[in-house]
Structure 1
Amino acid sequence: MGLFNKLFSGSTEEKETKTLPWIPLTKMEQLQEMETKSSTKLQVVFKHSTRCGISRMVLKQFEADYHLTENHLDMYFLDLLNYRDISNEIAVKFQLMHESPQLLVIKNGEAVAYESHGGINSLDLSNFI
């Protein structure tokens, strides 16, 4: 009966949602800035396809499990559908094959770790700080 009540009770109860300190990655110039800043602060890029259910699921899980702050790292969010050229440049610059979703960890100008799909949520970012 509990499930039935949740579906049809008209409850306005909402789940608590986290808002991560995302920095929209929308300009090529940001890649150089990111590379430079990576010598003093960890830089992370989440490449997301807004039309992909798997990418959406992985993003939600990543956000739910995220526990670091802006003091630890910079979090960049790349919308692959609108900024595919930036994704292509990331692949060239850091010598990585494009995948979606994909998480890149950049330290001292190099991609020190990356994962895609379900592997994203098994990557412990605190190991790189």
Structure 2
Amino acid sequence: MLQKIVTAEQFDEVLQKENKFFLLKHSLTCPISRAAYNQYQEFSDGQSEVPTYFLAVQEARPLSSEVADRFQIKHESPQAILFFNKNAVWNASHWQITKDSLTGASSGNN
């Protein structure tokens, strides 16, 4: 199930609580981002091992920027990031965000 986060405080709670999770940076106005969001949701609905979170860039710009700065990942939207042991270990953007790529990333970083 997708869970929306908006603030840095919420993100920090997730980072402390979850050993492994995905975060999707999603643009509410971009058709490519909509396609990525649909793939992300399909991935999320088909598994329960890796928690899935998302932020809407237009609603959570400070958080989106903080994630990019803190983990030294160039900001893109849409962008999926896999976190493991409080580190960003994988990311993909635009058309690279597919159910298959998310499944592969989640199983490759146990």
Alignment TM-score, normalising by the size of structure 1: 0.74
Alpha-carbon distance in structure 2 between the residues aligned to 1:75 and 1:61 = 12
Q: Which residue of 2 aligns with 1:112?
A: 89
| RMSD of aligned Cα (Å) | 1.5
Task: Tell me the alpha carbon deviations over residues 23-62 of structure 1, each in whole angstroms, 9 at most, x when there is no partner.
Answer: 1111211222222224xx3111011001000100121133
Q: How does 1:87-102 map to 2 (within 5 A)?
A: 87-102=64-79
1:78 maps to a residue whose letter is L
Q: How does 1:1-129 map to 2 (within 5 A)?
A: 21-38=1-18, 41-66=19-44, 67-69=46-48, 72-121=49-98, 122-123=101-102, 124=104, 125-129=106-110
1:37·1:43 contact (CA, 8 Å) conserved in 2?
no
Q: Where in structure 2 are there 5+ consecutive unaligned residues?
A: none
Matched residues, number: 105
Sequence identity (%): 33
Alignment TM-score, normalising by the size of structure 2: 0.85
Shift of 1:64: 2.9
More helix, by proportion: 2
